[in-house]
Amino acid sequence: MSVASRAPAYIRSISPYQPGKPISELAREMGLPEASIVKLASNENPLGMGPRARDAAQAALSEAFRYPDGGAFALKAALARKFGVKADQLVIGNGSNDVLEIAAQTFLSPGTSAVFSRYSFAVYPLATNARGARCIEVPAKGFGHDLDAMAAAIEADTRIVFIANPNNPTGTFLSGAELEAFLAKVPEDVLVVLDEAYTEFLRPEQRYDSIAWLARFPNLLVSRTLCKAYGLAGLRVGYAIAHPDVADLMNRVRQPFNVSSVALAAAEAALTDDEFVARSADVNRRGMAQLTAAFAELGLEWIPSSGNFVTVKVGDAVAVNRSLLEQGVIVRPIAGYGMPEWLRVSVGLPEENARFIEALRQALA
Ligand SMILES: *Cc1c(COP(=O)(O)O)cnc(C)c1O
């Protein structure tokens, strides 16, 4: 009997997360110079890191031989100020992926379940399965969340409902009014994890104040990240805002030093850089228009997206993706999400979008 075979069945049956292909890997495979490759596969900020975050990260490097502040005092103070919450409502994660994992570790175990939508973020089933809990996957409405069906799917053993808004990989959006009506229906002993990884990209008329809802819904957890609009994907920082009792349990479960000192310093500085986030959202809005205009011209169907990426139907996505890779363009196939005819493309800089569009035209020809 091998050691591997002794791992719990729920661990052995996990299907691994499929990340975007790294630039260095494609460069090796195709013999291309790294500088010639366009990566639009992981919803990274095409502007890079904001100047304040970069300076703070560089300054923090010389102290990186010391353990970080495990309590993240300074970052929590900055978040508390920014959002008008108390420090004891905060959990800092090594990316918001970590926040999702910590929530699962805190509330899920064998004999419990988590509810999430079809075509939603791959980490929800991963985090659920890793705790031996049961996944309740609810059919989507269009390619987005069917909140009525999700409320109806909650069972006696359900401990968490995961909602991504905007959703990844489809970019669909739920209004504040829809979410509020949903929260009012969910039993108070079920944690609603509202994953707002792309909230900074919402248009002004789409915005809603989920943090204000925490006063009325102590079973709400708002998850956000510095890895997308703030450009810190490689440094890994995210956070949860929740009821103090929920945050307290999660802070007991997380690793004592889960976020590096460099990431903490960069995040604190990044939060002050509203100008960079506004510029990122602006670049995104224009790039989205550039991409969708090209899809229209090519006669391709796409899912209107509120994030910094858009999902487009190309037919034989395996073949189209192979051709894109040969042309040095990395996007994300999403067959693993049950969408084998679609590709998800992150919005890049104008010239990156143009490279992708040209390569897509070639691939389809
Ligand atoms: C990218 C993403 C995250 C997590 O990103 P981190 O880099 O871990 O902060 C969480 N949720 C959704 C829906 C995402 O797309």
pLDDT in tens, 281-308: 999 999 999 999 999 999 999 999 999 9
Q: With contact defined as beta carbons under 8 Å apart, do 236 and 98 qualify? A: yes
Residue environment code for 287-323, b if the CB has 16+ CB neighbours within 10 A, otherwise e:
bbebbbebbeeeebebbebbbbbbbbebeebeebbeb
Q: With contact defined as beta carbons under 8 Å apart, do 191 and 246 qualify? A: yes
Q: With contact defined as beta carbons under 8 Å apart, do 80 and 90 qualify? A: yes
Distance 214 CA to ligand 1 centre (A): 21
Rounded distance between C-alpha atoms, residue 264 and residue 226, angstroms: 10
Report the amino acid identity of residue 279.
Answer: R
Which of the following CATH numbers is that of domain 4-48+275-364: 3.40.50.20, 3.40.50.620, 3.10.20.600, 3.90.1150.10? 3.90.1150.10
Q: What is the pLDDT of residues 303-330, one digit of tens each?
A: 999 999 999 999 999 999 999 999 999 9
Residue 100, pLDDT score = 98
For residue 238 and ligand 1, the question of a CB distance below 6 A is answered with yes
Q: Band of the pLDDT at 179, cuts 50, 70, 90?
A: very high
Distance 128 CA to ligand 1 centre (A): 16
- Ligand 1: atom nearest CA of 236 is 7
Q: What is the pLDDT of residues 95-138, one digit of tens each?
A: 999 999 999 999 999 999 999 999 999 999 999 999 999 999 99
For residue 227 and ligand 1, the question of a CB distance below 6 A is answered with yes
Rounded distance between C-alpha atoms, residue 318 and residue 339, angstroms: 11
Residue among 227, 260, 305 whose CB has most ligand 1 atoms within 8 A, to mutate: 227
- Please, what CATH class does the domain formed by 51-272 belong to? alpha beta
pLDDT-wise least confident of 6-20, 133-147, 266-280: 6-20
Determine the 3-state secondary structure of 174 from DSSP: coil
Domain boundaries, the chain: 4-48+275-364, 51-272
Nearby residues of 172 by Cβ (< 8 Å), 6 or more positions away: 142, 143, 144, 145, 166, 303, 304, 305, 306
- Note every long-range contact of 76-80, with CB atoms under 8 Å and residues 24 or more positions apart, other chains counting: 78/268, 78/271, 78/272, 79/239, 79/241, 79/271
Q: What is the pLDDT of residues 187-228, one digit of tens each?
A: 999 999 999 999 999 999 999 999 999 999 999 999 999 999
- CA angle, 206 then 209 then 213, to 5°: 135
Residue among 43, 222, 224, 225 whose CB has most ligand 1 atoms within 8 A, to mutate: 225
For residue 168 and ligand 1, the question of a CB distance below 6 A is answered with yes
pTM as predicted: 0.97
Distance 101 CA to ligand 1 centre (A): 11
Flag whether pLDDT at 28 surpasses 90: yes
